Chain A
Amino acid sequence: MLQTLAQHDRDELIAPLYRFDRKFWGIVAFLAAITAPGLLLYGRQLIVGLGVTDLNRPVFWGAYLVNFIFLIGISMAGTVISATLILLKVEWRRPITRIAESLTVFGLMTAGLQIIMDMGRPDRLLFTLIYGRLQAPLMWDIASLTIYLLTAMFALYLQLLPDIAILRDTAPAAVPEWRRKLYKFLSFNWRGNKEQWERLEKAIVTVSVFLIPIGISLHTVTSWLFSTTVQPGWKSTILGPYFVVGAIYSGLGLLIIAMSFARVYNPHLKEYITEKIYTNLGWIFIVMSGVWFYFTLNETLVVTAEQETLEFPIMASKLFGQFSPAFWGMNALMIAATWMLLAPKFVSDKPSRNPLMKTPVGLSAAVIGLAIFSLLWLQPVSVFADPVFQTVFILAFVALLFLALLGVTKWLKTHLIPSSVIASSFVLFGMWLERWNILMPTLTHARLIPYTTYDPTLTEIAVTVSTLGILTLIFVLFYKFFPSISIWEVEEGRARELGAGD
C-alpha cells in the first residue's frame, strides 16, 4: 500500500518538472515582461544617478527602503514557521515546509537587491566588507542578512537532499544530460541508508533551532536601522518586536498565496495541500493579526495621547494629514482580512434565513457605501467641515461597512481557499503600507527642514513591480527544477501514520 502511494507521489510531483508546456512559458514570459521595464529604468538610474527617483532632502530614503523592509518581512514566515513547526513536530506542516523555506531564501535575495538598488554607489558594495564598522547598525543588518540567507539556503538544501536523490534516480530518458549532472552533483552521494537519514534528521533539527533566533535577529536589527537614530517617530523601543510581528504576519500571507498559486498551477497538489492546512494556518494568522493590532494600538495611542512637540506632528500626519489614506487604508485592510478569517468560524455553513447574511445584501451595502464615499470625496468644497454631518457620515459608513462584512460571511465560510488568498493579499498590501507609514512620515517631517512630500517616480514604481516579478520568477523557475512538495517528508508522515495504526 505504501509502495503504491509512494509511486503515486512520484508520478504527480515529479512528472510536471519535465513538462515545459505552454502554460509554463506563458507565465515565464509574463513575468519577464513585467520585470523588464524596471530593469531598464534601473539601468538608467545607474548611469544618471539617484536623481531619477523622487528622493530629496530630507526624504533620503524612499520606496526602495520600504520594499527592502517588506521583503525582509515576508521572508520571515518561511523559515520561522517551518522551523517552529518542525521543532514542535507538527504533522500537517509536511507538505508546506518546502515552499515556506524557499520563500525565505527568495525573499532575502530580493531584499538584498533592494539595498543595492538604493545605494548611490553600488560599485563600492565591497567596501562594507573591507572597511566595515561593526558599530554601525547597517553593518549589523548586512551581517544578519548574510547569516540568515546562508542558513536558510542551507536549511532548504538539507530538506531538498533526499528529494534530489529521488530525482537523480527517477529521471526519465528524455532528460537533458546537464540536468542529470546537476541532480547527481547536488544529491551529494545521498544513498538513503540509515546513517545518512539519522544525520540528516539531526542536522535539520539543529538548523531549525538556529534559524529562529537568526530570523528574529534580522527583523529586530532592521528595525534598529530606524530606532537607533534620534529622529522623532523612529526612536521607539517597540519597533523591534513590532517588526518581528509584522514579519510573521506578512510572511504567512505570502506563504498562503504561494501555496495557492502552486495548487492552481499543478492541480494534483490539491491532494497534499488540503483545506486542513488552510484552516490551521488561518488560526495562526488570526492570532498574529491580534498581536499586530495590539502593537499598532500601542504605537498609535501612546504618541497620540502624550502629544509631544516632536513626535505628535508625525503621528498627526498619519491620523489626519498626508499619510492618512495610507494609515487608515492599512487599518481597513487588516480589519477586513481579520474579518475574513475570523467571521466564518462563527456561522454554520447551512444557508441562513437572516436577510442580513445574504451575499446580495452585503454586496449592495458595499456598493452604496463606496458610492456615497466617492461622491463626498469628489466634492470641490469639503463637506466634512460640519461636525454633525461628519458624525452622521462616519456612522453611516461604519454601518454600511458592517452590513457588507456580514453579507459576505456565508460566502467566506463556503470558500475557504479563495477567502484565505484574498485575506492574505490584503495583509500583504497592508503590511507594505505599514512599512511606508513607518518610514515616510518621519522622513518628510524633518526637524529643521520644512515639511515636504514624497511621490515615487515611474522608476521607483517600475523597479518595485520588477522586484515582485523577479521574486515570482525565481519561485517559478526553482519549482521547475525541484518538487514543490517535500516528497520524502510526505512519505515519512504517511509511514508514521500507518505505523501508528498497526
Chain B
Amino acid sequence: MTNWCMVIDLDKCVACQACSIACRMENNTPVVSPEEAKNGRAIRWNDVFPLPVHFGPDLGEYPNVKTHYQTRPCMHCKNAPCVKACPVQATYIDEEGIVRQNYNRCIGCRFCTVACPYGVRYFNWYKPQWEGTLAEYRNPDQVRVNGSLEGPAVRPVGVVEKCTYCVHRLVKAREQAAAEGREFRADEYVPACVQTCTGKARYFGDLDDPNSTVSQLSKSLRAVHLLEDSGAHPKTLYLSEG
C-alpha cells in the first residue's frame, strides 16, 4: 500500500500563499467576512502563518531584517490525536495513511479540533456562503465513501473539516488509470497546493517507496516534523530553513 506524504522545503518557500488559494479553490472552503476572520473563524486548510507564532515576528533591525513564514497543511499523523478523540469515527486514517473526515457522520462536538496540537481542523460556524458568482466556480468533484460525501463536497453547517491531501484527485487519478487499463503509479497524483507551489517547495509521493523523492528527502538532515514532542507522529515533513 502507498503511504502518502508531503515534504515542504522551507528554503524554497517564498510565502506567496498560492498554496492557500489553490487549496481554497480546489476544496471549496467557504469565504468568511473580514470581521469573522479576525475573530478566528476563517477556514484555511492550508494556512501560511508568521513565526514565531505568539510574540509576533522578530523582524530584526534594518537593514538586517528577516521574516519567517511557515505553511501548514494537515500533518496526517500516524498516531492522530483527532482520530483518537472522535466519538463516532467521523475522522479516520485510511489504508493509505490519509486522515479523512466524514462530513455526514460528524456530530460537531469539536473534540478533534481541541485535541489537534497543530490547529489544522476547522469548524463550520455558519452555513457556508460564497459571494456573488463565486459559487459558480466551485469544484464539482466529489468523493463518496459508503454513500457519504467527502473531499471537496460543500460541507453543511456544524461539522468539522480539514485538509485531505486532495483525496478526490487520488480517486480521479485511479479512475483514469483504470479506464486506460493500466497500473496506477504514485506519481500520477499530487494535491493542488503541490501542483501550484510557486517556488516548487512542495514534494508529494509515497513514503514507503525508497526511490520516491519524498522518501529520499525524508532522510535529509534538514528534515523535521512540526511539534515532534506531541507524540502524534506527524507525517508531513519540513526541510528546515538555512
Contacts and interface: CB of A to CB of B under 8 A. Distances in A.
Interface string B85-128: 11111100000000000000111111101110111001111110
Interface stretch (A123-131, A212-220, A400-408, A468-476): A123-131
Chief secondary structure at chain A's binding surface? loop
A139 interface: yes
Contacts of A58: 40, 113, 119
B76 to A, nearest CB: 16
A120 B54 CA distance: 29
Interface in A209-266: 225, 228-231
B157 interface: yes
Contacts of A118: 109-110
Given A56-B39, A133-B86, A136-B87, A451 B54 contact: yes
Interface stretch (A165-173, A358-366, A440-448): A440-448
A28 B73 CA distance: 53
A277 to B, nearest CB: 41
Contact of B40 (A136, A313, A448, A452): A452
A51 B32 CA distance: 11
Interface stretch (B12-20, B182-190, B200-208, B224-232): B224-232
Contacts of B123: 50, 55, 57, 60, 120
A327 to B, nearest CB: 20
A135 interface: yes
Interface string A49-86: 11100111111110000000000000000000000000
Contacts of A450: 53-54
Nearest to B158: A120
A449 interface: yes
B172 interface: no
A230 B88 contact: no
A139 B109 CA distance: 11
Q: In this complex, which of B114, B117, B159 has the most chain A Cβ atoms within 10 angstroms of its Cβ?
A: B114
B174 interface: no
A128 B87 contact: yes
A128 B107 contact: yes
A213 B161 CA distance: 38
B54 A138 contact: no
A51 B40 CA distance: 11
Q: In this complex, which of A51, A57, A229, A451 has the most chain B Cβ atoms within 10 angstroms of its Cβ?
A: A57
A330 B40 CA distance: 28
A121 B37 CA distance: 22
Given A57-B119, A120-B110, A230-B231, A133 B87 contact: yes
A209 to B, nearest CB: 30
A119 interface: yes
Contacts of A137: 85, 111
Contacts of A135: 84
A56 B117 contact: no
Contacts of B109: 115, 118-120, 138
Contacts of B222: none
List the 8 closest pairs (A to B, CB-CB), nearest first.
A120-B108, A120-B158, A56-B40, A51-B125, A138-B87, A136-B87, A60-B110, A121-B108
Given A121-B158, A448-B72, 16 more contacts: A49-B125, A49-B157, A60-B114, A119-B108, A120-B110, A121-B107, A128-B88, A131-B105, A132-B87, A132-B88, A133-B87, A138-B87, A142-B87, A231-B117, A446-B119, A452-B40
15 contacts: A49-B127, A54-B39, A56-B39, A60-B123, A120-B106, A120-B159, A124-B88, A124-B106, A133-B86, A136-B84, A136-B85, A231-B114, A447-B53, A448-B49, A449-B53
